[in-house]
Chain A
């Protein structure tokens, strides 16, 4: 299994809603990532988890809250988002230093 699975594929939420994005991998990778990608731009790193501990937070607003319940799962909890947070959210996993496997992404629209 060489896949990273993200759910849901599409999400529309209001600015007062609370929602969560989910990511799962079964490749035994100990590093997992959340990236945000706006249209026609490269992915921007948000968070890195290494061995289930948060190792990098790229100064992301607190309305985004990551969680790593175990070595296979990564969640991104969303609360009080703004319309400018609308983007494609990509999850990825990798060995410590190597190429990252990306999921198909969650297309988030904040209304």
Chain B
């Protein structure tokens, strides 16, 4: 069964610094991969999704992710962190055709002024 692993439960960066959040998927190449963001006391919002059409995926709020089959990775990056980026980030993959999502454990991003 598919799964995703997020390395680092907490990442702290300074404002203006590079953001790198790590996600690795297991076994076979999934049809989709997603990054979601969750701000405190809110639901999840889609940042970006991989659909095999392109390996470099651009999302909202200046985030992007690169699908690397050789590394089974789909890391999320942003060149310059902003205070408003502080949130919980989840990588997710579909379990099967039924629409169930398998989430990573999440990475909490803190941004220092």
Chain A contact residues, CB within 8 Å of chain B: 4, 6, 31, 33, 40-43, 45, 48, 50, 55-56, 88, 90, 92, 94, 96-105, 107
- Of all chain B residues, which has the CB nearest A42? B103
List of B residues within 8 angstroms of A99 by Cβ = 32, 34, 46, 49
Also in contact, A107 and B98, with CB within 8 A (given A41-B106, A42-B105, A99-B34):
no
Partner of B99, one of A48, A102, A107: A48
Chain B contact residues, CB within 8 Å of chain A: 31-32, 34, 36, 41-46, 49, 88, 90, 94, 97-101, 103-106, 108
Q: Is the CB of A33 within 8 A of B43?
A: no
Main secondary structure of the interface of A (DSSP, over half): strand
Partner of A31, one of B41, B45, B49, B99: B99
List of A residues within 8 angstroms of B106 by Cβ = 40-42
List of B residues within 8 angstroms of A55 by Cβ = 98
